Structure 1
Amino acid sequence: MLTIEVLDTSDLGDRSYVAHDGAQAVVVDPQRDIDRVEAVLAERGLRCVAVLETHIHNDYVTGGHELARRTDAAYVVNAADPVAFEREPVTDGQVLTHGRMRITALATPGHTVTHLAYYLEDTAGETDPALFSGGSLLFGSVGRTDLVDADRTEELTRAQYHSARRLAELPGETRLFPTHGFGSFCSSGSASGGEASTIAQERTRNDALTATDEDAFVETLIANLTAYPAYYAHMGPRNLAGPGPVDLSAPEPVDPQQLRRRIDAHEWVVDLRTRTAYAAEHLRGSIGIELGTQFSTYLGWLIPWGSSLTLVGDSAEQVAQAQRQLVRIGLDRPDGAAVGTPRELATGPADLASYRVVSFEDLAAVPDAERAGFTVLDTRRDDERAQGAIPGSAHIPLHALLERLDEVPDGPLWVHCASGYRASIAASLLTRAGHEVVLVADDFSAAEELGLVAEPS
C-alpha cells in the first residue's frame, strides 16, 4: 500500500508530505529545513525519487531545490514557471510513475497563475487515491488569490473557483492533502483546519463548492482578504532563483557590551522570552517577540528586510528553535546571539526596563475619571476591529505600527490585541520608541464578556 507521512510546520500554518510505497518516495512542498524530511527518509529506508512543487511559494522559502540536489531526485516544477535552475518541467495532464505511485499533474490556477495539484494513485489498487492540492483546494476553503498581482485578484479568484470545481470532480474517496490552510496567511475564507478530509467531504462544506453563484463567491472571497506579511514579497523571487542549503549552527556569541552597542545603534535585538517575562524585565531598547507558533511570521513581517538581527534567549535551545523558524522565511543567519537573563546580559542597572501587565478586568475596574489619563491602543487588523472595538480606543494594526509611529497618541498607552501576543510586540516597539506602556495580556473575548466592547454599527 501507499503511505503518506505528514510534516507539520505549525509556525507557518503549512504542511509538507512524503508519499511512498515502502521503497521509493516523492516529497511535496518541502520546507527549507529539509533535515526533517531526510530523517523520515532515513527512518523508513526510502529513496527520494522526486520532489514536487505545487507552486512557487509566497509564504516560505522552499527546501525542494536543495532536497532534490542532495538526493539526486527529479525536481518537478511547472514548465511555465520562469525558474533559474534545471528542473523536470511538467504540464497539465502529464503523468509521472515511480514504483507503485502514478502521479498526474493538474493545472489549478488561482492561488498562483501556474499552480498545479498532483493526483496520486496506487497502481496496485490497494490504497485510496490522494490529492496534493497545495494552495488551491483547502479544508473548507481555498487559497488566497491576491499574492501574485493585486490587479489580477478578480481574475485569479474566478480561476480559483473553477480550479476547485475541477478538483471536486475527482473520486469522492480521494484523500485531500493541502499545503496551506492550517493558520497560513495564504488561506482565505473559512478554512476549517483539521487533520483529514476527502473530496466527498469538501463537496459538502467547501466555500468554493457550496457556493451557487460564481460572482457572489468572488465578491465574498475578495471582501474577506486581509493583510498578509510583508516578507511575502521576498519569497517568490528567492524560490524562482533556487534556494541553497541552510546553516543551523549556533550564531556568534554576543557579550553584554556588544549587545548594548547594537541596541544603541537601533539594530534589532530580539528577546525570545515569554511576553510576561519580557514585561517584568528586559534590556532597554530590545524588542520582545515571544518564541512560539507566530514568531517568524511577525518578526519577518516587521523587521526591515536586510536589517542586522541579534537573538536573545534563555537557552541555546531557544535560540536554535528561533533560527529554524527564521530560515523558513529566508532569514538565514542571525548576526549573533546571547543567552542569559536580562540582569546577566546588562552592562548595568540603567540597561534594564519593565512595564506593567494587566487584564481587561483591570481595565474595566478603572474609574471613568482615570480613563481620561491614558489611551487604549488596539493593535488588531482592520477586519478584526470592524467586528467590535472598545469605544474611545485608538487603532493602529501591529503590522503598520513602525510606519505610523507619528500617529501614536501622547501619554500612557494600554495596548491590546486579540490574545496579547501582538500587543506584547507592539508594547516593546512603543517602549523602544519612548512611550509609556501597559500591556493588556488578555483575550479580547474577556473584554466582550465585561461589556467593554461596542458592536459594529
Structure 2
Amino acid sequence: MGFADDHLVPLVDEGLGNSAYLLDLGDGRALAMDASRDLRALHAAAERRGLHVAFAADTHLHADFLSGAVQLGHDAGATVLASAAGRRAFAHRGLADGDEVDLGGLTLRALATPGHTDEHLSFLLLDGSRELGVFTGGSLIVGSAARTDLLGADRTEELARAQYRSLKRLTALPDETAVWPTHGAGSFCSAPPGTERTTTIGAQKQTNALLGAPDEDTFASRLTASLGTYPAYFDRLAEINRRGPAVLTADPLLPALSPQQVRALTAEGGHVVDVRPAADYAAGHIPGSLSIPLRDQFATWLGWLLPDTAPLAFVTGEDQDPSEIVRQAYKIGYERLAGRLAGGMSAWLADGNRRTTTAFVTADRAAGRPYVDVRQESEFAAGHVPDAVHLELGGLPAAAADAPHGPVVACGHGERAMTAASLLERAGHTDVAVLDGGPADYAAHHGLRLVKGTENTRS
C-alpha cells in the first residue's frame, strides 16, 4: 500500500470527466485540490475520515466547472491557494513558480506550467526532499495534454508550445513520481478515452504519444490537430472563477410550478427542460421542450445548448431527485432555475394542454430514413454508418436547417439523439425518429460495415 492509498482520495466527476482530490495531511486536516462547487462527495469523504479542510488549491482558472475553493474558504475557513498571476478577486494566497506551502510535515511546491491556461500551476507534493506526486491539473494528463485553445484561436499554437515546455519540465521529475491530473476521460478539456485517471511520470514517458514528439513543432501540430469542439459555457466560467463564484448559504431549491406558470415562463422567453429518460420523453412531452436526460452528463449538455441568462423550468419523473438538477446546474453557473412542473406530465395534460410524441425506434424500423449521427467527430471517425449525415449535437442549434427531412437521429445509445430530436422539433422539423441504440446495432441489422474516418461512402 502506497502513499496515495493511505492519504489521497480521488473524487471523480464522471459527467465532466474530472477528478478532484482530498489529501489527508495526517493531523486531522486536509487539502482539497481542484474541488468543484458541488462539494457533496468531498464533504462525505472528509467526514468519513474525520478531516477538516484547511487548504483549498486550484491548479488553474477552470473553464468547465465553478471552483469550490471560495465556498470552502467560507464554510471551513480554508486557505485558498492559487496562482498569483490569475489575479483572482477574492481572498487567497497567491503563489508563483517555486513558492512552497508548509502543510505540516508535507510541502506543496508551485510549478509554473502554462499551456492549458496562462496562469496554470502544477503542485508538487514533497515529503522532505522526496517527490511523492504532482497535481498536474490541465497540464500532463493520462495519455495526452490538456487543450490549449480556450483563450482563443489566435493563441492556440502559442499555448501549445508553452504546454510542450511545461511537459518537458514535468517529465524531468523522477519516473516513480505519481501524476494526479484533474482532467480525465470524458473531459472536453482533451483527455483521451480510457479508464486510468492517475499515472506516473515514468509510465507517461513510455506511453503518452505526445511526449514522444521529437520536437516542439511536432508536439504543437499533434496537440492542435487533436482538438475537438467544446461546450459553449467554457467561454464564460474562467472569468466567474477569477471573480469568485457566489457563496451559497443554503441548499438551493427547485420550487413547484403549475402548468400555468410553465406556460407563462415560455411566453416570456424561458425554456422547458425535460430531464426524464429518453423513452419517457418520446412517449409524450411539452411541445418545444428540450430533452436532456438527468444523468452524469446532464450539466455538459445543459451548458452547451441553453443560455445561462434565461429562466429554466424542468419536467421530471416520479423517481428523479430535483436536488441533482440543482447541483449539476449550479456547478456550471446556471442559477436561473424557475422550478419544476408539479405533478409532471400528468398535471400538464390534466390542465388541458397538448403534448407531442417522438418516434423511438429500433434498427429494424429505421430503414428508409436518412441517418443523422450527432456524436462527436472523434466518435464518428472511429466508426459510423455508411452515408450518415454528421451533425454534432453541440452545433445542432445552428445547423438544424442542414438536417434532412424525416431523419432517424442516432448517437451511441439514444440519449443525445433524443436531445437532438427535440432541437430539430423546436426548429420546425417534423417526422423525426430517434434510434434506440447505436451505429453498431443499425449496421448489424442492415448488413452494413461501419466506415472509419470522415468518409461517408457506402462500403
Superposed, 1:407-422 pairs within 5 Å as 407-409=402-404, 411-422=405-416
Partner Cα separation in structure 2 for residue 270 and residue 375 of structure 1: 27
Partner Cα separation in structure 2 for residue 191 and residue 425 of structure 1: 23
Partner Cα separation in structure 2 for residue 421 and residue 302 of structure 1: 14
Which residue is equivalent to 1:376? Answer: 371
Superposed, 1:277-288 pairs within 5 Å as 277-288=280-291
Find out whether 1:68 has 2:73 as its counterpart.
yes
Find out whether 1:400 has 2:400 as its counterpart.
no
Find out whether 1:344 has 2:347 as its counterpart.
yes
Partner Cα separation in structure 2 for residue 68 and residue 261 of structure 1: 39
Which residue is equivalent to 1:320? Answer: 323
Which of 19, 26, 31 pairs up with 2:23? 19
Find out whether 1:272 has 2:279 as its counterpart.
no
Find out whether 1:248 has 2:242 as its counterpart.
no
Partner Cα separation in structure 1 for residue 8 and residue 224 of structure 2: 33
Q: Is the 8 A contact 1:257 1:347 kept in 2?
A: no
Per-residue deviation, 1:397: 2.0
Which of 165, 168, 174 pairs up with 1:165? 168
Partner Cα separation in structure 2 for residue 317 and residue 333 of structure 1: 20
Q: CA offsets per residue over residues 294-337 of structure 1, 9 Å max, x none?
A: 11101110002311111111147522111111111011241111
For the structure 1 residues 236 and 277, does the alpha-carbon distance in structure 2 shift closer, same or farther, using more than 3 Å as the test? Answer: same
> Mean alpha-carbon deviation: is it higher for 292-301 or for 265-274?
265-274
Q: Percent identical across equivalent pairs?
A: 35
Which residue is equivalent to 1:84? Answer: 89
Superposed, 1:293-372 pairs within 5 Å as 293-315=296-318, 317-348=320-351, 351-363=354-366, 366=367, 371=368
Q: CA offsets per residue over residues 93-139 of structure 1, 9 Å max, x none?
A: 111111122111111111111111111123497xx702111011111
Which residue is equivalent to 1:28? Answer: 33
Q: Is the 8 A contact 1:360 1:440 kept in 2?
A: yes
Per-residue deviation, 1:80: 1.0
Which residue is equivalent to 1:234? Answer: 236
Which of 448, 451, 454 pairs up with 1:451? 448
Q: CA offsets per residue over residues 220-276 of structure 1, 9 Å max, x none?
A: 211110000000011011001011223533212101222233345553111111111
Per-residue deviation, 1:347: 4.2
Which residue is equivalent to 2:158? Answer: 155
Per-residue deviation, 1:70: 2.3
Q: Is the 8 A contact 1:11 1:325 kept in 2?
A: no
- Describe the SS at the equivalent of 1:109: coil
- Describe the SS at the equivalent of 1:229: coil
- Describe the SS at the equivalent of 1:357: strand
Superposed, 1:110-259 pairs within 5 Å as 110-123=115-128, 129-188=132-191, 190=192, 192-246=194-248, 247-259=250-262
Which amino acid is the alignment partner of residue 444 of structure 1? Answer: P
- Describe the SS at the equivalent of 2:86: coil
For the structure 1 residues 317 and 422, does the alpha-carbon distance in structure 2 shift closer, same or farther, using more than 3 Å as the test? Answer: closer
Which residue is equivalent to 2:58? Answer: 53
Which residue is equivalent to 1:437? Answer: 432
Q: What is the CA RMSD across the aligned residues, in angstroms?
A: 2.3
For the structure 1 residues 266 and 451, does the alpha-carbon distance in structure 2 shift closer, same or farther, using more than 3 Å as the test? Answer: farther
Partner Cα separation in structure 1 for residue 176 and residue 381 of structure 2: 40
Which amino acid is the alignment partner of residue 23 of structure 2? Answer: A
Partner Cα separation in structure 2 for residue 394 and residue 137 of structure 1: 35
Which amino acid is the alignment partner of residue 163 of structure 2? Answer: Q
- Describe the SS at the equivalent of 2:228: coil
Partner Cα separation in structure 1 for residue 31 and residue 451 of structure 2: 52
- Describe the SS at the equivalent of 1:351: coil
- Describe the SS at the equivalent of 1:310: strand
Find out whether 1:107 has 2:109 as its counterpart.
no
Extract unaligned runs of 5+ from structure 1: none
Which amino acid is the alignment partner of residue 378 of structure 1? Answer: D
For the structure 1 residues 308 and 316, does the alpha-carbon distance in structure 2 shift closer, same or farther, using more than 3 Å as the test? Answer: farther
TM-score of the pair, normalised by structure 1: 0.90
Q: CA offsets per residue over residues 159-180 of structure 1, 9 Å max, x none?
A: 2122112111212222221110
Q: Is the 8 A contact 2:363 2:437 kept in 1?
A: yes
Partner Cα separation in structure 2 for residue 391 and residue 203 of structure 1: 38
Q: Is the 8 A contact 1:55 1:134 kept in 2?
A: yes
Q: Is the 8 A contact 1:175 1:197 kept in 2?
A: yes
Q: Is the 8 A contact 2:373 2:390 kept in 1?
A: yes
Extract unaligned runs of 5+ from structure 2: none
Which amino acid is the alignment partner of residue 143 of structure 1? Answer: A
Q: Is the 8 A contact 1:264 1:285 kept in 2?
A: no
- Describe the SS at the equivalent of 1:61: coil
Q: Is the 8 A contact 2:22 2:32 kept in 1?
A: yes
Q: Is the 8 A contact 2:84 2:96 kept in 1?
A: yes
- Describe the SS at the equivalent of 2:256: coil
Which amino acid is the alignment partner of residue 54 of structure 1? Answer: T
Per-residue deviation, 1:150: 1.6
> Mean alpha-carbon deviation: is it higher for 321-330 or for 36-45?
36-45
Q: Is the 8 A contact 1:260 1:347 kept in 2?
A: no
Q: Is the 8 A contact 1:141 1:192 kept in 2?
A: no
For the structure 1 residues 384 and 34, does the alpha-carbon distance in structure 2 shift closer, same or farther, using more than 3 Å as the test? Answer: closer
Q: Is the 8 A contact 2:271 2:312 kept in 1?
A: yes
Aligned residues: 445
